[in-house]
Amino acid sequence: FDFAIIEKIIVPEIIRQTGIEDFEQELRIKYGKYEKLYYEIMYYAEEAKKELSHSASTVIEFSAMLNDKKYDFFIPVTKEKANEIFLPIVNESISLLKKVMNNNGLTSENINQVILVGGTTLLPLVREQVALQMSIPINFSSDPTVSIAVGAAYYAANKYYEPSIIAQALSSDDIIGEVLSEETAVAADLEIETSYSKSSRDKEEVLLLFCKGNYEGRFFRIIRSDGGFDTGYIPLKAKKTEFLSLIPSVNNVFSLQIYESDHEEIKNLRQEISITQGKYTIGGQPLPHDISIEVDDLENKTTRLEVIFERNSLLPQKRTLYREISKTIKKGSKDAVVINIMEGDKSSRPPSNLTIGCITITGKDLATDLVKGSDIEIQLHIDDSRVLHTSVFLVMTQQEFKNVFSVSEKQISLDRLREQYNLLENELTNTIRQFQYNDNDLWEIKASALLEDLESVKERLLKLKSGD
C-alpha cells in the first residue's frame, strides 16, 4: 500500500514539478542517488495511509534536494484516489486467501472469523472488501498494530541470548590471553550438539547429546539455574541421553558444562538450555514456502526441484545433503558446479520458484581437477530470521565454500527472469495453437487467460534494472 502511494501519487507529482524524466528509474536503484529520498517518502506514504484510515483527505508535504536544486512538495491525497489504487492490491490479497482455502479444502462455513492484524487493516476499504468477498465475520476488536507488538513480544520472550565462543571466553575474568589460546586449541577437537524440546508439559524432558571429535576421557555436567538439579560429572559418549527434571509452570534454564579429564572446565563449550514447562510458548516461525534445490532431470532433459525444507517447518532447520558431481571439471576451466537454492512450491517447475541464492564453483576456484562421480557435501542451516547458511565441501579437492543468503531478500537474475518469461510465453502460445487445432475451446480459453495474465507483467519486467 505504501509503495502504491509512492508509485501512483508521489512519483508522478515529483516528475511533474521537477521535469526529471528518469526519476522513477533512478529511485528504484538500490544504493542509488535517490535512496535517502526513497526512505523519506516511504515514511510520508505510510503516514498518509494512516491518516486516510479515518480522514477523507490528507496532504503529503516535504522538501528535497534534486539535482542541486531544492523543491518543496505539497501533494493532496483523497480517500477516493487512495481507494482506487488500493483496490487491485486488496483484491489480489483476497484472491490469494481464497486460493489458500481452496487448496486446503476449506469454505467460508469452516472459518469462524477473520482476525485483522497489521496497520493496513485499519483502512476501511480493507475491512469492507474482506467482509464482502469472504462472507466471513470480521474481528477487529483488538488494535491491529498492538497485536503485532504483542505477538513479537511473545516470540522474543522465548529467545535467549547466546554469546559467541569468543565473547564467553573474554567475559571470564579469570582467563588471560595465554590460557584462552590453549583452551581454544583443546576445544577445537571437540564439537557438542544438543537436541531437545523447548517446551514441555511433562515433569521431565529428554536431552540428546551428540559428540564429534576427541570426547574420550572428558565429562559433561548439567546444572539447573536454581541448583535443584545436578547430574554430576558424567563421561561423554558419541551419543548420550539425559532426562532433565523440570519445575512446573516456569521457564527452566540449565547450564551444560564440558570438562577435561582433570575436571577443568572447557568454558567455550558451555551451552545454555532453556525449556518452558506447562506454559504457552512460540516454537518458531513456520516456513511460508518450500525451500528446494534445482537438480538435473535426465529423463526429461530438463531440471526439477528437490525439497530441502518443507513448507510449515518450524525454524530453525538444519540438513546435510550428499551428491555426486555430474561432470568432470578441469582446474582453471570456466566449467562450474552450480547449486541453485529456490523458494516456492516443491511440486512446480523451477522457473515458477524464486531464487534465494546461487552457489557457483568454477574451475578457477579448484585446487585440483574435480572428477565426475566424486562426492560433494552440502550443509544447509536456516535460522529464526530466515537467514540461510550454506557450506559446500568438495571431498576430492578437500575444499570448503561457505555462503550466507537472506530468504526474505531474493537474488534475481534479470537475464534469467526474462529468458524464463520468453520460454513461458512461447510455450503458452504453442499450447493455445494446439488447443485451437484440436477444437478444444474450453482449454483454449483458460490458456488464453493465463497468457493474458503473463503479458500484463511484461511492461514492468522490461522496466526493471539491475539494482532495483
CATH number at residue 126: 3.90.640.10
- For 295, the domain range is 286-411
203 plus 321 within the same structural domain: no
Chain Cα centroid distance, residue 77: 35
**pLDDT for 285:** 73
Would residue 443 count as lying in a domain?
yes
Residue 384 and residue 287: Cα distance in Å, rounded? 10
Would residue 11 count as lying in a domain?
yes
260 plus 324 within the same structural domain: no
15 plus 135 within the same structural domain: yes
Residue 130 and residue 94: Cα distance in Å, rounded? 7
**pLDDT for 243:** 92
Residues forming a β-bridge with 195: 208
Which residue type does 200 have?
Answer: S
Q: Which of 152, 167, 202 is the last residue of a domain?
A: 152
2 plus 32 within the same structural domain: yes
Residue 5 and residue 59: Cα distance in Å, rounded? 12
Would residue 421 count as lying in a domain?
yes
Residue 358 and residue 341: Cα distance in Å, rounded? 6
Q: Which of 390, 411, 432 is the last residue of a domain?
A: 411
**pLDDT for 334:** 86
Query: Which are the contacts of 5, defined by CB distance < 8 A and separation ≥ 6?
Result: 45, 48, 49, 77, 82, 85
Residues forming a β-bridge with 238: none
Would residue 305 count as lying in a domain?
yes
Would residue 162 count as lying in a domain?
no
Cell triple for 194: 544438543
DSSP E strand boundaries for 154-203: 190-195, 199-200
Residue 211 and residue 256: Cα distance in Å, rounded? 13
**DSSP secondary-structure letter at 42?**
H
66 plus 106 within the same structural domain: yes
**pLDDT for 221:** 94
CATH number of residue 316's parent domain: 2.60.34.10
**pLDDT for 219:** 93
Number of domains in the chain: 4
Would residue 170 count as lying in a domain?
no
pLDDT digits (tens, 9 = 90+) for 389-427: 999 999 888 899 998 888 766 666 677 778 778 888 888
List of the chain residues with pLDDT < 70: 158-188, 279-284, 408-413, 465-468
119 plus 134 within the same structural domain: yes
Would residue 185 count as lying in a domain?
no
Residue 430 and residue 63: Cα distance in Å, rounded? 52
317 plus 244 within the same structural domain: no
Cell triple for 423: 520460454
Would residue 332 count as lying in a domain?
yes
Element (H, E) at 12: helix 11-18
**pLDDT for 180:** 33
**pLDDT for 408:** 66
Residue 356 and residue 391: Cα distance in Å, rounded? 15
Distances (CA, A) of 220 to 118, 196, 216, 236, 241: 46, 16, 11, 6, 12
221 plus 340 within the same structural domain: no
137 plus 202 within the same structural domain: no
Query: Parallel, antiparallel, or unpaired: how do β-strands 271-277 and 199-200 relate?
Result: parallel
Buried b (16+ CB within 10 A) or exposed e, 290-324: bbbbbeeeeeeeebbbeebbeeeeebbbeeeeeee
DSSP letters for 176-241: -HHHHHHHHHHHTTEEEEEE--SEESSSEEEEEEEEEE--TT-EEEEEETTSS-B---EE--SEEE
Residue 350 and residue 356: Cα distance in Å, rounded? 12
Of 102, 163, 98, which is closest to residue 136 (Cα–Cα)?
A: 98
Q: Which of 247, 277, 307 is the last residue of a domain?
A: 277
Q: Are 120 and 126 in contact (CB under 8 A)?
A: yes
pTM for the full model? 0.50
**pLDDT for 281:** 54
330 plus 232 within the same structural domain: no
148 plus 3 within the same structural domain: yes
2 plus 127 within the same structural domain: yes
